[in-house]
Structure 1
Amino acid sequence: MLDLASLFPFQLDTFQLEAIEALNQGKSVVVCAPTGSGKTLVGEYAICRALDHGKRVFYTTPLKALSNQKLRDFRDQYGQDQVGLLTGDTSINRDAPIVVMTTEIFRNMLYGTRIGETGTSLQNVEAVVLDECHYMNDRQRGTVWEESIIYCPPEIQLLALSATVDNSDQLTDWIQKVHGPTRLIHSTFRPVPLEFHYCNGKGLFPLLDDSQKKINPRLRERRSPKRGGRRSRNRIDLGFIVSQLQQKDMLPAIYFIFSRRGCDKSVDDVAHMSLVTDEEARLLKEKIDEFLAWNPDAAREGQVGPLYRGIAAHHAGILPLWKGLVEELFQ
């Protein structure tokens, strides 16, 4: 059995120890814990244990961006040759002991294999990690997770990780019925508290008061609109919002916009700003220039200059090479 003290030179939380114990007992595990609480550590233990046994692990995520991030993380932890990647765009070192992939890729591997049997692509796999498994509740994509669990051979342990599964008890019972012995590990402790802020023309303010139960009085309108009138809906300039985040040391940040065109336009709107220090700018220039030297045709028109200053768009319309650069620099 692996020595936890040598793997993790810090004290583990109770839920992490319980999840590790369940894995060592040969059970599949569902871990529900808040963001930032250390769920991924349980997945890392499953990886270390499989490597120690001379076995393999598949680590699935719902998004290509998350898969790319995990590829970089695991390469740093376990070595370049130990990690592979499979997405709709990329196939890297697919026979590695640790393979990161989107959940759709894993589901597609299982197609054509009878339930309960192990296909050639799953030979020597000890465990499959289903990260962000709350996507099972998604109307359009939820069946991917269901089919992955149903078709996964019973001798392969499943480790489902999620911050938000309302019906975690039902999910665990269902996995136990269709796959095998499964234990639910649940934690409500949030080591990284959520803070809500509100931005208006006067600045960026906490949304709640000190009691965290009422709206911040500074945000209440001083007078109600006249009967029949409409509230003013002046849009706050994106540059002003970003400058407020910068002043309050709340960068880096992700600003969600629900269209590709809107993302690209927003980069233009703040392209005059610089969000990095001189040292960060030097490192960015070094990385970007090296990338462009190897991939001169991958640069996005109008996006190179802002990227030097710490600003980029990220959406499905971006070529994988450029998207990978943006993700790496943001991380």
Structure 2
Amino acid sequence: MAESTKELQRRLQVAVASGFRDRLLDKGLARGLIWRNGRLPAGSPSFPDGLTEDLLDYGYAVMAMALRLRTQASETPALEHAFLVAGEAIEAAVHRGDHARDRGFHRVSAAIAFHLARYAVRAYSILPSGTDTDNLAPVEQALVQLMRRNLDEMYNSFSGWLLDSQHEDRRIAARLCDDEEFDEVDAADTIITTSFMRGLALFDHGITTGESESMTRAMRQLESTAEAARELNAISHWGTVTLASHLIDALWKLSLHTQIPILPPDDDDSVRWNDLRRSYIQRLRAGKRSAIELWPSQIEAVKRAMDPSDDLVVALPTGAGKTRIAEFCILRALAAQQRIVYVTPLRALSAQVERDLAETFLPLGFTVSALYGSAGIQRSDAETLSEGKIVVSTPEKLDFALRNDPSIIDDVGLIVLDEGHMLGPNEREVRYEALVQRLLRRRDAADRRIVCLSALFPTPNEMRELVEWIRQDEPGGPVHSTWRPTRQRFGVVQWLSHAARLDVKVEGESPFVPRFVETRDPPEGSRRRKTFPSNKNELTLATAWRFIDQEKEVLVYCPLRKSVEPLGRLVLKCIEHGVIAPLREVTPRIQNAMATGAEWLGGDHPAVQCLQYGVALHHGGLPRPFLNEIEKLLRSGDCPITIASPTLAQGLNLSASVLLVPSIWRNREIIPATEFANVAGRAGRAFVDVEGLVLHIVWEDTAEQVNWAIRNWEQLVAAARAPHIVSGLLLLAWKIYKRISVTAGVPLVDVVEYVTGHAEAWGVYQPSAGNVEVAAAEWERDVASLDSAILALLDAETTESSLEPALDGVL
């Protein structure tokens, strides 16, 4: 008797519950972090001998139940989690395992499971490559091309097969009569493959043109192919074709054609929108890695993007697709014949956004211009801002332009605020907040849409004040998702006498490598006498080089800008002494970057010298022309190690497999959880890694200091999982109030009450004798920042006589 849907759901729920079979999946994922080529490092924790076989049995059992349930009830909420569990179980069994003959097949199966779980990016990263593809059947190879989004190669595969006369029915019949080595099994294999390729051709036509009838025919073709394979007892073909039919069904349901709405004929923008929509989808399809569907994090936003009056706060993890959401909003504004201003808080980010938007919108016929550089507004800047269709600007440039001519954005219909979470007490952050407040207070604000993009994602309730601010108390919530394309793992690299131990947290497991980095003597002939590594910075480099040996890219985060170049000098010194080796040969791109760096900094500067060894230094104090070249190298992959400053936390699109954090301190305080959350999001490269590692380097003298360091790290990680977004103006004022309270020995409540009612209070700060210069400088800086932020809220035409009511209004 067939199993009921309800009973199948119950069994599946039990099978995918956390901790099932003595945490089988957790053990597999934990092992996967530390083994290489099927072998565990010496001294690492042991795992059951039959773990690989158990994981495969479990993964395929869960997938089989999930496929049956999807056939009976495709909208069941638990299905995505079930396919995710199945994919992770099969991945854990074979990823980084030994090179078994069937590993490629298992990788394809895991990738399809990830696809059905709506993790197409992770599927891409697990797909077989190199020798793993040697044993794949033509059907499986075509599926790999589809999941890699190499649609042109997929087209060549199915068209080449279908046009090959050897696969025609009459030729197959002739070979059965004339070729003794070609039997019924070979004939069945050829016929089933041909039938599958026809189905794939129909799918390709449907996903390219948006014709739903082609998709319906493709599904029928694959279903009949699977049925034929079952009747012919071709079990392998039946399994693969069945998986393929579920795969293309899921892809179509998430496709751009089905998810991006069409405006009705009675809408004034319908003709322009529908034309732009079609061109946009074709543009994404034509990319080197075709984009044909939405990610789960983008679905709600695309529906809401259609309403030009819906101001959006989009809170997604780094790498979860915020830029694509901005593109949809821009496309909607273009259909309404409106201009767009895209605000980014960093010049480096502005250049990056300009390049990305131009790649998308120039082929559609729209110009993309940028305003960034030195402060002030030039005549050409004003012309760009008043005439450009899509203008990318820093807050400073836009603020100057608006003070010079407030009407310059009268016909702008959309303003995108990138890195909208950048609310804090430093001057750049409060100026950004003040600019947004001025935009919201304009008389024509209701005629202009605001879209705020944030890489911090506290709960919707904790974002309530930010959402109410951006939406000016209009009903509606944020676009919020915790979905991210890669897994994220946190851990510690801790020095223990003669070796460094790697510890990583994986759900209920704690895999470790006891001697991840080992001390070693300098090579013969070296001037160095000490063993390597001999301090925390050297351990950081040794750890980075160890991960490079595992074919990972590494990002080293320095909370202080002044720490970047000393670490670069240490790289040069260690290479000179022979304790670490150069990572790359000098490529033409590296030569160009070094030439630019030498022109601006001199050829002996560490940022220039490190490039020849494959190490890039990045911080805001380096000349912009040189940083442009550095960023090109990072995009091209010429430098596998990047050492970066807090610029990284402010939205620059740098990512790596591993993020190393030597220190979490700045000016005797632990860095803000919001900053760390943004930095940690850089770990795990979409379409490359299935997981990203975020590791703290610990080198302390005593057990007490080690425990203290690890406790601080774990508290920071916990705080970063639930960051709080607070007004920078309020934080700055609160910081000043606390300083007055501590200095004067007065309760904080009394200070707030007094200061807010007496102007003379701002001039009475007297720091203690021991820190007069530092404290006075901090006081002057913070008060000046608050002054400039408050003044930035005022319109340029505010007169002295109207100052007091104007301040009351903006505050």
> Paired residue for 1:59, among 342, 354, 373?
342
Residue 635 of structure 2 corresponds to residue 320 of structure 1: no
Residue 613 of structure 2 corresponds to residue 309 of structure 1: yes
Residue 32 of structure 1 aligns with an amino acid whose one-letter code is A
Stretch of structure 1 that moved more, 102-111 or 189-198: 102-111
3-state secondary structure, aligned to 1:194 = strand
Instruction: Give the structure-2-normalised TM-score.
Output: 0.34
Aligned equivalent of 1:18? 300
| CA RMSD across the alignment | 3.3
| Residues 156 and 181 of structure 1: CA distance in aligned 2, closer, same or farther (over 3 Å) | farther
Q: CA–CA distance in 2 between the matches of 1:246 and 1:15? A: 31
Aligned equivalent of 2:583? 275
Instruction: Give the structure-1-normalised TM-score.
Output: 0.77
User: Comparing both structures, which one devotes a greater share of its residues to helix?
Assistant: 2
Aligned equivalent of 1:45? 328
1:218-267 Cα shifts (integer Å, max 9, x gaps): 569xxxxxxxxxxxx9525143122112112221x331224444211221
| Residues 139 and 269 of structure 1: CA distance in aligned 2, closer, same or farther (over 3 Å) | same
Aligned equivalent of 2:137? none
Q: What does residue range 1-331 of structure 1 map to in structure 2 within 5 Å? A: 1=273, 2-3=277-278, 5-6=281-282, 8=284, 9-26=291-308, 27-79=310-362, 82-89=367-374, 94-95=384-385, 96-111=388-403, 119-136=406-423, 138-140=424-426, 141-152=428-439, 153-166=445-458, 167-177=462-472, 183-201=477-495, 202=499, 205-208=502-505, 211-213=506-508, 215-216=510-511, 234-237=535-538, 238-251=540-553, 253-271=554-572, 272=575, 273-276=581-584, 278=585, 281-285=586-590, 287-288=592-593, 292=596, 297-302=599-604, 303-331=607-635
Residue 582 of structure 2 aligns with an amino acid whose one-letter code is S
3-state secondary structure, aligned to 1:37 = coil
Residue 549 of structure 2 aligns with an amino acid whose one-letter code is Q
Structure with max Cα Rg? 2
How far did 1:38 drift?
0.9
| Residues 234 and 321 of structure 1: CA distance in aligned 2, closer, same or farther (over 3 Å) | closer
Q: Give the total of aligned pairs.
A: 303
Contact 2:491 2:502 in 1 (8 A): yes
Residue 563 of structure 2 aligns with an amino acid whose one-letter code is G
Q: CA–CA distance in 2 between the matches of 1:191 and 1:260? A: 30
Higher relative contact order, structure no. (Cα contacts within 8 Å, ≥ 6 residues apart): 1
| Residues 122 and 183 of structure 1: CA distance in aligned 2, closer, same or farther (over 3 Å) | farther
Contact 1:60 1:130 in 2 (8 A): yes
Contact 1:107 1:147 in 2 (8 A): no
1:194-234 Cα shifts (integer Å, max 9, x gaps): 122433453573422xx4246545569xxxxxxxxxxxx95
How far did 1:157 drift?
0.8
Contact 1:22 1:28 in 2 (8 A): no
How far did 1:142 drift?
4.3
Identity of aligned residues (%): 24
Residue 44 of structure 1 aligns with an amino acid whose one-letter code is E
Contact 2:598 2:608 in 1 (8 A): no
How far did 1:171 drift?
1.5
How far did 1:307 drift?
1.7
Q: CA–CA distance in 1 between the matches of 2:329 and 2:602? A: 39
3-state secondary structure, aligned to 1:239 = helix
Contact 1:15 1:187 in 2 (8 A): yes
Q: CA–CA distance in 2 between the matches of 1:323 and 1:34? A: 25
Structure 1, unaligned runs of 5 or more: 114-118, 221-232
How far did 1:77 drift?
3.0
3-state secondary structure, aligned to 2:617 = coil
1:93-128 Cα shifts (integer Å, max 9, x gaps): 734322222234334444477xxxxx3331432211
3-state secondary structure, aligned to 1:191 = coil
